[in-house]
Structure 1
């Protein structure tokens, strides 16, 4: 499902009749579109509209396409958006491996095959051998890596990043930016990042749209 550009076709989001943002842009595979603006400028609502979970308080027009397929006519679960938030949102009642197994599409059958995918995903984010660990025993950076591995295992067609680096310290933030953007390139996923941090935009290296100015 990867390897398709993301096209935001005349997307406009309003609250109480006031337009917060208007965006038309093609995001190529492996590219990061950064949407920058202050709190309340509508950045996160754009991700919600793309992902299919926009709060009803907002009104929106415009279409979103993955390749030739229009996503805006599909329910959220069929849009296959991989989303990372400020918090990793790991399931506390599951092991690290359980969190990852949960994300693997049901089309992949067999315990051995699914377990192998988990091990490979953990190795890919520098956490080999951590499958049996309790998420509560992980550091903030490790939790962020597990969240990234889980999203990638879900076979998304795009990555939506809602300030996922903002709660990490400076060194970890730099490492996670590098890892997330590298994984997006190798997975050939289009990425939309919302942030108010200029360093995020610089690290992303792609086009920048500024809203709420």
Structure 2
């Protein structure tokens, strides 16, 4: 278990054209997956964009985002220490599987090649390093995207409906893998979804927008 990071949303309020889109006050502890549910247009994606540091100028935001007691509200996206997992794995087509995993690793991290091999073995993809991402199945791509995220050493994670494009059978296995890894790493995580099964498998607190 890592030292245990904390993500705090301190009286966050997002406004569009004078109307309040959402208000949220929450502390997400180490290894906790906090789920935000709601229909399209309820502000889920806007919340993620705000936390990640790329909120569109049309929106106004107030409140603060704290990570390990540091105020990251005004920091640029690349300095926030937040990792993202999207609906699409977004693997780089010009890099091998190993190249994708190395991409986000901190420059000073030692033994990168060994870490990549270990990470692949942990998700049942031992020996896949030289492969072209285009040759992988949807589930394999999702596992590579997860390990790339973890190897980038984030201090918190945002999950943008990362299971929605997987077939039903894969979804449950992938959820269990992702949530177990995030818990082991002690990473506070915020999941946005409209799928109640995502929320149930995450096992943490759930808030519903647009109620």
Q: Secondary structure at the match of 2:201?
A: helix
Partner of 1:15: 16
Q: Tell me by how many angstroms 1:34 deviates.
A: 0.2
Distance 1:155 1:121 in 2: 13
Q: Secondary structure at the match of 1:73?
A: coil
Distance 2:146 2:47 in 1: 21
Q: Tell me by how many angstroms 1:203 deviates.
A: 0.5
Partner of 2:26: 25
Partner of 1:46: 47
TM-score (norm 1): 0.96
- Structure 2 gaps of 5+ residues are none
C-alpha offsets along residues 98-137 of structure 1, whole Å, 9 cap, x if unaligned?
Answer: 001111101224xxx1101111111122211100100000
Aligned length: 210
Corresponding position: 1:169 with 2:167: yes
Higher alpha-carbon deviation: 160-169 or 64-73: 64-73
Q: Secondary structure at the match of 1:88?
A: coil
Q: Secondary structure at the match of 1:143?
A: helix
Partner of 1:191: 189
Partner of 1:123: 121
RMSD over aligned Cα, in angstroms?
1.1
Partner of 2:153: 155
Runs of 4+ that moved beyond 3 A:
none
TM-score (norm 2): 0.97
Distance 2:126 2:57 in 1: 42
Q: Tell me by how many angstroms 1:176 deviates.
A: 0.7
Q: Tell me by how many angstroms 1:2 deviates.
A: 6.0
